[in-house]
Amino acid sequence: MVGCEVGLDNTLSNEQHAQIQAHIQAHQHVPGGLMPLLHAIQDDIGYVPEVVYPEIAKALALSVAEVHGVVTFYHHFRTHPIGKHVLQICRAESCQSMGSEKLEAELKAKLGVDYHQTTADGSVTLLPVYCLGNCGCSPAVMLDDEVYGRMNTEKVTELIAEVCHG
């Protein structure tokens, strides 16, 4: 078993809602404040809940469609909760030249998920990424906020075990 136990709950707690409101207040007068606001929300909550689009739109004098448009334009933002940990595998050319296709196939099989999916136990969400700026040490992956170079399936599996159980 590669992962660790955690549930995926998409109902907002009162505390989370209060956090979001505080972020909206802090950003509503910042020039071009929507992007930093979305980052702040996702950093705290793990995703940008669609239910708060109307509040964001009202505070920033935008339409709900505009908020939706921005959230969905950027690969980084997501509208649903994800696994406890995020594993990003670099799909770009440099990593391909060092065998990243084999790595991604093996990791998908090992985790039992495809890209944009979360392991059955909710521990790891697998995402593709196009360059981590670690091209001198391909293939590269990023697990949560740490980048790792010269990876293979065994090493990544160990890293996952460490963050889940370590």
Size of the site for another protein (CB under 8 A): 42
Neighbours of 111 (CB within 10 A): 23
Q: Is residue 32 involved in binding another protein (CB under 8 A)? A: yes
- The binding track of 122-161 with respect to another protein, each residue x by CB under 8 A or -, is -------xxxxxxxxxx-x-x--xxxxxx-----------
Interface stretch with another protein, choices 9-17, 65-73, 79-87, 110-118 (CB under 8 A): 65-73
Token digits for 15? 């505390």
25 is a site residue for another protein (CB under 8 A): no
Instruction: Give the closest residue to 98 by CA, choosing from 158, 151, 155, 156.
Output: 151
Contact flag: residue 96 with another protein (CB under 8 A): yes
Give the residue with the Cβ less far from another protein, 17 or 155: 155
Long-range contacts of 109-112 (CB under 8 A, 24+ apart): 110/2, 110/153, 110/157, 111/2, 111/3, 111/87
Stretch that binds another protein, among 9-17, 18-26, 93-101, 156-164 (CB under 8 A): 93-101
Pure H helices in 28-116: 34-45, 53-59, 64-73, 93-96, 100-111
Pick 7 or 73: Cβ nearer another protein: 73
Residue 152 beta carbon to another protein: minimum distance, rounded to whole angstroms: 14
Name the strand (E) or helix (H) holding 163: helix 153-165
Report which of 65, 59, 66, 67 is spatially closest to residue 30, judged by C-alpha positions. Answer: 59
CB of 53 to another protein, least distance (A): 14
Pairing verdict, β 117-118 and 124-129: antiparallel
Per CB under 8 A, residues contacting another protein are 31-36, 38-39, 60, 66, 69-70, 73-77, 92-98, 129-138, 140, 142, 145-150
